[in-house]
């Protein structure tokens, strides 16, 4: 939301936008590309006419993931500042759907097509800012070393000067209890070594950029939902809540795990009562509307205290790819969002009304 963008501005965080809407949201929050030209970057593999016009008007740097995108930008805005998003030929992620490298990924300019990209840049006098490589979300250290090496090779082989390199995203958080947090010193050390090698080759300092969105916000958010029904389905114990995958898509889309805890509406001590292996599911009209599932849709359980209708469940670590992926599926309004700042609660997005949901429809 714009409120969170305002917090980001105060902390010196820049914006990697992937749509015209994200650009406009950043502008509305106070980002000013006229004053700070690199505070907003547009990253994509395609660019539509409206977005092209806006980035050209505001001179927003473009991180291009296709040669066609460079051509379209060059025709409208010769001399524009660009990054090249390069697909190094391999990828990795916590899910195949978050793997953004390799030949099964749509993302980036294929590494051997870099000469074609540079030819288009020369034709339209596009200014190369840097090389960007993002191979997936939830990358392990082994693949991280690979991509650092690929970055160095790509810069050395392309024969072009660059101001910066970008590590992209991928910094994860420990969603499960007992998981090791990312060693940020080690992560930085690998990328900094790559940066220093490139700087020695070019003969000048090179900036290193990173997109740690999940790392910054995932643990700051929770989804609070109310229990509406408890029932036994053969051997399975189901707790049905009033939030669905329209509110939190990650479990249904990726099989992602979110820790779940319970709160009693009447304040009783749930931890002292019985615990039950529970399937937690939502209100939508699909069997896949389940918060406890593996990738591929296999339903699993989590251990929860025995709850009753009216109690609450809390899904943890939903600050990243939670509200931002929500939808109006089943004609359900978007949820409100509440920000807690130094213990003070503040509504930063009100609940969408059904009237607003219907407002765009025409008879």
Cα 229 to its chain centre, rounded Å, is: 32
Contacts of 110 (CB under 8 A, 6+ apart): 87, 89
Q: How far is CA 253 from CA 47, 249, 315, 348, in A?
A: 25, 6, 16, 26
> For residue 179, what are the β-bridge partners?
none
| Residue of 148, 158, 285, 302 marked active site | 285
Give dist(CA 240, CA 276) in Å, integer.
14
Contacts of 277 (CB under 8 A, 6+ apart): 237, 301, 302, 303
Identify the CA nearest to 304 among candidates 214, 246, 240, 242.
Answer: 240
10 Å CB burial of residue 349 (0-12, 13-18, 19+) is middle
Give dist(CA 84, CA 118) in Å, integer.
9
Q: Say if CB 239 and CB 307 are below 8 A apart.
A: yes
Annotated active-site residue 285? The verdict is yes
Interhelix angle 67-76/114-123, nearest 10 degrees: 0
Q: Return the SS3 of 105.
A: coil
Beta-sheet strands, E only, within 55-136: 62-64, 81-87, 109-110, 127-132
Q: Would you name the residues annotated as active-site residues? A: 285
């Amino acid at each position: 939301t714009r409120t969170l963008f305002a917090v980001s501005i105060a902390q010196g965080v820049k914006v990697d936008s992937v749509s015209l809407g994200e650009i406009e949201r950043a502008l509305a929050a106070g980002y000013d590309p006229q004053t700070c030209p690199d505070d907003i970057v547009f990253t994509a593999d395609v660019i539509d006419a409206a977005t092209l016009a806006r980035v050209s008007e505001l001179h927003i740097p473009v991180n291009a993931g296709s040669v066609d995108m460079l051509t379209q930008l060059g025709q409208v805005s010769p001399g524009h500042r660009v990054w090249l998003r390069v697909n190094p030929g391999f990828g990795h992620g916590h899910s195949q759907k978050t793997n953004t490298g390799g030949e099964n990924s749509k993302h980036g300019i294929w590494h051997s097509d870099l000469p074609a990209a540079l030819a288009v840049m020369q034709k339209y006098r596009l200014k190369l800012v840097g090389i960007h490589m993002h191979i997936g979300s939830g990358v392990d250290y082994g693949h991280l070393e690979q991509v650092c090496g690929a970055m160095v090779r790509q810069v050395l082989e392309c024969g072009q000067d660059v101001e910066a390199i970008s590590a992209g995203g991928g910094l994860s958080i420990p969603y499960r209890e007992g998981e090791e947090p990312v060693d940020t010193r080690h992560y930085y050390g690998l990328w900094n070594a790559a940066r220093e090698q490139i700087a020695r080759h070019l003969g000048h300092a090179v900036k290193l950029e990173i997109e740690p969105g999940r790392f910054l916000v995932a643990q700051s958010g929770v989804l609070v939902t109310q229990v509406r029904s408890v029932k036994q389905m053969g051997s399975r114990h189901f707790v049905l809540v009033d939030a669905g995958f329209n509110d939190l898509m990650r479990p249904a889309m990726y099989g992602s795990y979110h820790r779940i805890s319970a709160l009693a509406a009447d304040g009783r001590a749930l931890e002292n009562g019985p615990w039950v292996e529970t399937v937690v599911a939502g209100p939508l009209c699909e069997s896949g509307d389940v918060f406890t599932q593996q990738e591929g849709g296999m339903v699993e359980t989590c251990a929860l205290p025995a709850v009753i209708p009216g109690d609450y469940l809390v899904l943890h670590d939903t600050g990243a790819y939670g509200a931002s992926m929500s939808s109006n599926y089943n004609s359900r309004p978007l949820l409100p969002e509440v920000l807690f700042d130094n213990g003070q609660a503040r509504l930063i997005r009100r609940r969408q009304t059904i009237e607003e949901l219907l407002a765009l429809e025409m008879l």
